[in-house]
Amino acid sequence: MRKLDVVAACLTLLAGCATGGDETRRKLSGMERARLLVEVANGALMEGDPVGALQNLSAAEQLDGSLPELFHTKALALATRHDRAGALQAAEKAVSLRPDYAEANNTLGRLLIDDNQLARAEAPLMKAARDALYRESYKAETNLGILYYRNGKYKKSVARLDRAILLSPQVSCIAYYYRGHIKMRESRVLEAVDDYQRASQKICGKFADAHLALGIAHERNGEVFKARRKYLDLTEHFAASPAARQAMERLRRLP
């Protein structure tokens, strides 16, 4: 039985999950039941079911509306549903309940970037990036890099993207991707090719936009054969993506 199923089963028992005999059984508090529902919601979100996540979160909120984790998960679920305003409101609620909640600060900063509220995004992202206990601080560093890139502050952007890559080189797909963009702007095409390759290999292999950027970099470097091969690969393996459609358009223009 999966962990998600175990948690769901626990929620059906008024006495809670027992670890031993009857003497260890006790009734779960409202907060404990709410936390279990949040865990179920996280599992639903990971399985691609944001509606199921939101249903469990609604039930959790009725039990205990003071859990910052509840509102952070709600922000993620609403963002998946393209409800930007609702996601922002939920992320702000999570941070208001726990100002030092690094993961929620990072999510809030990213949502503010997506909403083009760049001036507001820096503070929560800096708070998350500076938290020595935040295991995924590379995400906040990456988002700061994106923020500065959008503001045209390329030197500051590279510093943050470099930091993200230093912290977690294997999973810094987006950091490599944006650093490649900056190198392309500076006409350092071969270095950009290297970054785009790293942004599209191994765990980053499904990052269609990075594959497209790599093809464009090959094209700009005069490597038409490599560019064509990359564009064809995009149309084959990412057929339904916007990147594949752009690749097809570029294929038609290649000599």
**Which residue in 138, 144, 139 sits closest to 156, CA to CA?**
144
Tens-digit pLDDT profile for residues 204-228:
999 999 999 999 999 999 999 999 9
Sign of torsion over alpha carbons 91, 95, 98, 100: positive
Q: How many residues comprise the chain?
A: 255
pTM for this one? 0.89
Please tell me the predicted confidence (pLDDT) of residue 5.
Answer: 53
The 10s digit of each residue's pLDDT in 40-81 is 999 999 999 999 999 999 999 999 999 999 999 999 999 999
CATH of range 169-255; options 3.65.10.10, 1.10.357.10, 1.10.10.10, 1.25.40.10: 1.25.40.10
Report the SS3 class of residue 99: coil
Domain boundaries, the chain: 169-255
Buried b (16+ CB within 10 A) or exposed e, 105-121: bbbbbbbbbeeeeeeeb
pLDDT in tens, 144-197: 999 999 999 999 999 999 999 999 999 999 999 999 999 999 999 999 999 999
223 C-beta neighbours (distance < 10 Å), count: 16
